[in-house]
Amino acid sequence: MLLDDFRRVTKACRCPVCDHPDWCMVSKDDPPSRAICQRVESKHRWGDAGWLHVLHDDGRTWVRTRKIIIPVRRPLADFSVYAAKCRDRVRPAQLERFAGALGVTTESLERLGIGWDGRNWSFPMSDAEGLVRGIRLRTRGGDKFAVTGSKQGLFIPGGLGNRNPLLITEGPTDTAAALDLRFDAVGRPSGRGGTHLVIEYVRRHKPGSVVGVADTDAVGRAGQGSGRDHGLLLP
């Protein structure tokens, strides 16, 4: 067997030798016939990976009760249908007024998938793959909240063209403003939120360069790790 034939143990699939959820590995066959344990020694040292244990080839080598945990994972809710319904409810005149009040174009808001839920403006929030995992709502008064069950996510506009640099903005309306300036931009949920999503997005899409755009408030500055007043800050 090669090291490639093993996978790391997890909380759901613990090391059958030491019963820990980390460090050790089990073979990928099912049920696993071998384990490489980092904690319990055997006669066979496997390099830095640990000690090799044969689990149940002969039914006797390994006699120990194994905890079997069957993970019940709820699939992440897909909010794309909700987002599409909201999108269909937008009335052009109303969107025109809203865009005018924000000082952005309706086109940029539409690229961000803006919708109307009957009372609030809605923006889909996506994971790094672009799957809609939540809906940001914005009241007429400008208050922000999210549809119940939403995950925080990125505001990813349609029609990004691999322009450089990619701006990382804060929230959907800043993102719309950046789009109006003909930048490619992706919005994070807040000044400090969604960092891991941004990193994943950048890894996936590999833009030539990335520039974080900070708000001038304290959160924006802290989120960028800089005390500079405004504008474009290299992360």
Query: Interface residues with Zn ion (CB under 5 A)?
Result: 15, 17-18, 24, 37, 39
From the CB of residue 167, how many other CB atoms can be counted at a distance below 10 Å? 22
- Burial of 179 from C-beta contacts in 10 A (0-12 / 13-18 / 19+): buried
Nearer to Zn ion, 34 or 136 (CB): 34
Could you tell me the smallest distance in angstroms from the CB atom of residue 71 to Zn ion?
Answer: 19
Least Cβ distance, residue 29 to Zn ion (angstroms): 17
Minimum CB distance to Zn ion smaller for 39 or for 228: 39
Cβ neighbours for 17, distance < 8 A, ≥ 6 positions apart: 24, 35, 37, 39, 40, 53, 62, 64
Comparing CB distances to Zn ion, the nearer of 31 and 149 is 31
3-state secondary structure of 117: coil
- Please tell me the total number of residues recorded for the chain in this structure: 235
- Rounded to 5°, the CA angle 103-130-149 comes to 85
Burial class for 56, CB neighbours closer than 10 Å (0-12, 13-18, 19+): middle
Least distance from C-beta 13 to Zn ion, angstroms? 12
To Zn ion, the closest distance from the beta carbon of 57 in angstroms equals: 18
Q: In the complex with Zn ion, which residue's Cβ is closer, 49 or 95?
A: 49
Report the residue number, 37 or 210, with the smaller CB distance to Zn ion. Answer: 37
Q: Kindly state the smallest distance separating residue 23's Cβ from Zn ion, in Å.
A: 7
